[in-house]
Amino acid sequence: MKIQQAAKLLLLGLTATACTVALAQKRPDLGKREYENNCAVCHGSDAKGKGVYNNFLKTDAPDLTTLAKRNGGVFPVANTFEIIEGAGKGHGTRDMPIWGQEYKVRAGEYYVDVPYNPEAFVSGRILALVEHLSRLQVK
């Protein structure tokens, strides 16, 4: 009887340990992935504006680590979203791609015959990127 209880406790302990390890595994950082895939070439891997394509731009890419500092210490979520999406200030003739349109094209290629909401797809990707940028801000 005691051996069965010990075995059950051991099994319970191993299960709890396995669950803890599974929960502790890193979740993918979607915003970081978006940044690395789409922004780092111009803004640099450190987001300070010195990416490998920066020399080809008409004006230097801005330092994205100081957005909050330049906005009175508050990270400008809505403005950052609008600039990335393409509807905000800077829309039109600019070096930065209009990512909202680019994401819609990518979504259309991915969800060929499946109904989906393109605005939700675009907003999700941009919000993940904005959240990542908010974590990069200098204090």
Tell me the C-alpha distance between 130 and 77, whole Å: 7
Q: Show the beta-strand stretches assigned E in the chain.
A: none
Alpha-carbon distance of 17 to 88, in angstroms, equals 49
Q: Is the pTM of this model over 0.75?
A: no
Higher pLDDT among residues 99 and 60, named by residue: 60
- The stretch 95-111 carries a mean pLDDT of 72
The predicted-structure confidence for 63-90, as pLDDT tens digits, reads as follows: 999 999 999 999 999 999 888 888 755 5
**Per-residue pLDDT at 136 exceeds 50:** yes
CA 109 – CA 92 distance, rounded (Å): 24
